[in-house]
Structures are given as C-alpha cells and as structure tokens.
C-alpha cells in the first residue's frame, strides 16, 4: 500500500511535535523539581529548630592531620554552644576518614569537644561512615542502641535538608540547627554547594524509589 506524500509529511510533523512536547514537558518537570528542592534547602538553611533533645549530633567535615578544618570547627563550636545551653546531655560526632588517614572526622570531633570540657561519658564518636547517607544511617543505629528518641543535628545550612530527609528515612526524629557562617561564599561556591545538594538528594530519591514501591 502506497501512502500519499501529504499524509507522510503530516505524520512526520505530528511526530516531531510530539517529541518536542515530551521534551518540553520533561524540562518543565526537571525545572519544577529543581526549584522545589532549592526551596527546601533554603528553608532548612535559614531555619533554626534548636530545642531540647536527647543528643546533639555534629556531622563531619574535613580534618587536617588531627585538627578540625574551619568548617568542622564551626560545626563543633555550634554544637558545643547548644550543649552548654543544656539542650541535650550528650554529643555525637560523625564521620570517618580515607583509608590512608590516621585520623577520622568523628575522632577529631571527639577530641576537640573533650578539650573544650565536654566529659568523655557525654561524647559518642562515630568514625566509620564515608558519606552523609552512611553518617545518617550510623546515627540512627546509635540512637536506637542508646534509646535516643530525638536528636538535634548540626551541619552547614545547605546540608540540613538532605540530612533531615535521610535521618527520617532511617526512622529517626531530628531537629536541625545550621552552624554560623564562617565566611561569605562567592556566588560560584554557593552555586556549586547547592548544586551538589540538589544532585545528591535527587540521586538518593531515585535510588530509594524502587525499594519504597515494593514495600
């Protein structure tokens, strides 16, 4: 059967129009999702939920040969201030290190808090996690073991939305408190930091979606 050329052209135009429609639809979905995650990140970055809890957990950042980096120190100092306000009787430091590292982020945090007068019995150091998701998972395990019902979490503002979502996925009730800004970020640094959080959160949601669907 011979299809008239006019019909072929019409079919091709409709096919191209459908492809463009799907592409624009996909773009709108991506832009809408990105905007929603951005708004969540900014919401947690500017909201301090500090309140009485069973423990204060400080998420790790880089350490330099046993000394906390400026970012890690700012997180620890903020957690320490909350502890001194008697918002919780215990502190948890989180974060491992590279295979070749002598020190871990959690261990350095533990030693720093100890030097600031926090009793040994009031500090739990988690030293094996290698990323935020593992830290959240280990925090949830520590909370179950020690019967901690509510945890006050400290990290960078842009980090807290993802931390909150991860902790809740592991069955942990957390409140978030952003550490003070050490220095103003350039627009490029701020963009890169938020882009990292958007991509990391999106990747986690995509990975977790199949397992959630089967439950």
Q: What band does 7 get if pLDDT is binned at 50, 70 and 90?
A: low
* CB 50 within 8 Å of CB 152: yes
131 belongs to a structural domain: yes
* CB 132 within 8 Å of CB 62: no
Summarised one tens digit per residue, pLDDT across range 41-54 is 999 999 999 999 99
Number of domains observed in the structure of the chain: 1
Summarised one tens digit per residue, pLDDT across range 170-213 is 999 999 999 998 777 888 999 999 999 999 999 999 998 765 55
The length of the chain in residues reads: 215
Distance CA(183)–CA(201), nearest Å, equals 25
β-bridge pairing 63-64 and 67-68 = antiparallel
16 pLDDT more than 70: yes
Nearest alpha carbon to residue 49 among 157, 140, 162: 157
88 belongs to a structural domain: yes
Q: What pLDDT score was predicted for residue 3?
A: 45
Summarised one tens digit per residue, pLDDT across range 114-147 is 999 999 999 999 999 999 999 999 999 999 999 9
Summarised one tens digit per residue, pLDDT across range 65-92 is 899 999 999 999 999 999 999 999 999 9
Summarised one tens digit per residue, pLDDT across range 148-160 is 999 999 999 999 9
Cβ count near 69 (within 10 Å): 16
194 belongs to a structural domain: yes
53 belongs to a structural domain: yes
Residue 111, domain extent: 45-204
Summarised one tens digit per residue, pLDDT across range 53-68 is 999 999 999 999 899 9
Distance CA(184)–CA(94), nearest Å, equals 25
84 belongs to a structural domain: yes
CATH assignment of the domain containing 90? 3.40.50.620
């Amino acid at each position: 059967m011979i299809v008239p050329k006019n019909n072929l052209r019409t079919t091709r135009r409709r096919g191209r129009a459908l492809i463009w429609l799907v592409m624009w639809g996909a773009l709108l979905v991506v832009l809408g999702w990105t905007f929603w995650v951005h708004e969540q990140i900014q919401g947690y970055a500017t909201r301090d939920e500090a309140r009485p809890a069973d423990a204060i957990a400080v998420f790790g950042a880089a350490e330099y040969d046993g000394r906390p980096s400026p970012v890690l120190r700012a997180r620890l100092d903020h957690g320490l201030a909350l502890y001194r306000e008697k918002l919780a009787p215990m502190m948890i430091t989180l974060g491992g290190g590279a295979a070749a590292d002598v020190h871990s982020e959690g261990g350095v945090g533990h030693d720093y808090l100890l030097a600031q007068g926090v009793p040994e019995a009031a500090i739990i150091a988690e030293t094996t996690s290698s990323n935020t998701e593992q830290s959240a998972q280990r925090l949830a395990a520590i909370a179950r073991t020690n019967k901690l019902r509510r945890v006050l979490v400290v990290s960078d503002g842009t980090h807290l939305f993802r931390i909150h979502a991860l902790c809740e996925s592991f069955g942990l009730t957390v409140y978030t408190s952003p550490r003070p800004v050490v220095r103003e970020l350039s627009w490029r640094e701020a963009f890169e930091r938020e882009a990292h959080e958007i991509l990391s959160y999106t990747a986690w949601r995509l990975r977790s979606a199949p397992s959630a669907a089967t439950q």
